Structures are given as C-alpha cells and as structure tokens.
Amino acid sequence: MFIPKEQESDVIDWMGFSIKIIRQEDQKTANWSGGATTQMAIYPEGASYEQRNFDWRISRAAIHAEESVFTSLPGYRRLLMATQGEFVLEHEQRHTAVLKPFDQDRFDGAWTTRCRGKGNDLNVMLGPGYSAEMLPVLVRDSYREDVQRSGLAADTVSYECIHPVDGDVEFSSGDDLSVVLRQGDLLIYKINGRPEKPIVFRYAKAGAPVHVVRITICPEAGGTK
C-alpha cells in the first residue's frame, strides 16, 4: 500500500497498526530565548505544550544564540540529540555533555540547563510513565531494521517515530507499505499490543547518504498506557 498525499494527515490502519505522517510544512514553529523550536508531534493529540498537559512531545530546535538557558520543564524528562553543529549542555550541579552530531544526552526538565554553542537538535520530552530511545541510522543505499517488542505487556501501546534529518528516504514496512518521507517529516507508527514477530522497517535512498532517527516511545516497565 502506497500512502497517497490526501491521506497522509489521517490515521491509516494497516495490518493492526496505525500510521500517521506529519509533513514538515504542517508543523508549528515558535521562538524561544535561544532560537526557534518546531513541534513535530504531541500526545495526546490536542494537548498543549504551554499548558504542560501532554504525555510526550517530539520537537526539533535551531539554536541561534551562542549562550542560552533551556526552558524549565518540571515533571518532564528530556532526551536530546544534536543533529547539526556542536554545543555543550551544562546542567547546574549535575553533569556536562559535549554534543556533536547524533550524540545525545538525558536530563531532568526541572534542572537548570545552559547551552553553549550553536546548532540544531532533536528533542523528546516525556511525562511520568513513559520512556524513550533515539537511534540514528545512516542510509547510504538501503537499510533494514527488525524492530522487537518482546519485552512489553500484551496490552501495551507503543510508538515508533521515523524522522529523516538531512534528506529524503523511501520508508517501507512489510511487503506492501511504502511512502516517501522528506527531510523534516515525521512518521508515527502506533503499535497496539505485542506483535509475535519483529516488525521490519526498510529505508532506501538514491544519491547522497541520509541520516534517519528512529524514536521509540513506550510505557515504562509495569505501565500499560
């Protein structure tokens, strides 16, 4: 099944999974003290970053200021990956992380965090009960991943989010699902329960290599959200 343009903003049910594509042009950008941030996805849909009533959120940011202070987010944990440039995160009375492209850091949103240096990053913000992983993949010609869900409860809902950072890729799963993801897009693959077999993700690219980041969001152990 090739997902047509007119269906991309809808949730598409396919073989027990739900798939949604959020194109770059449909994402919301706002300014912050150090640059600009773009909200790519927020859950539950209709939740508000400003009201802090979301369970999880994916965003990317462009850091324009040589020095900046991150917005305080008590009650949330953060996972941040550099995607361009080099910068230093200084967590007051905690640790310091030097991030080059596709390095990442985890920290509490309530910490006082200063950033030194300019660049771009990818952010995951997590409310109580959720965990996340970010895996960068360099697609030269083609790449295959077998995504496992063996450690989750049978009634768990989890998410695989695919984001091409610096180019376009063709994403496919199984034998008949295919879609072209452009730079900046986000595909959300909602997985209901625990599939018996690994889920096969394939990426293909003609031309220059492309970095893709796969973001996994799951309820923490013991949770069934």
Please indicate, yes or no, if residue 120 is contained in any of the structural domains.
yes
**C-alpha span between 129 and 154 (Å, rounded):** 17
97 and 134 fall within a common domain:
no
81 and 112 fall within a common domain:
yes
pLDDT value at residue 4: 44
90 and 157 fall within a common domain:
no
88 and 115 fall within a common domain:
yes
End residue of a domain, out of 80, 101, 126: 126
End residue of a domain, out of 109, 126, 143: 126
Based on its alpha-carbon atoms, the radius of gyration of the chain, rounded to whole angstroms, reads 17
56 and 77 fall within a common domain:
yes
Percentage above 90 pLDDT, the chain: 72
Q: Is 224:59 a contact under the CB 8 Å cutoff? A: no
Please indicate, yes or no, if residue 55 is contained in any of the structural domains.
yes
pLDDT value at residue 15: 57
Please indicate, yes or no, if residue 101 is contained in any of the structural domains.
yes
33 and 120 fall within a common domain:
yes
On the question of pLDDT at 8 being above 60, the answer is no
Please indicate, yes or no, if residue 225 is contained in any of the structural domains.
no
Q: What's the whole-number average pLDDT of the chain? A: 89
pLDDT in tens, 156-214: 889 999 999 999 999 998 777 889 999 999 999 998 877 777 888 999 987 899 999 99
The whole-model pTM stands at: 0.90
Q: What CATH number corresponds to the domain at position 17? A: 2.60.120.10
Percentage above 70 pLDDT, the chain: 88
For residue 134, count CB atoms less than 10 angstroms from its CB and return exposed for 0-12, middle for 13-18, buried for 19 or more: buried
Total of domains in the chain: 2
Give residue 74's domain range: 28-126
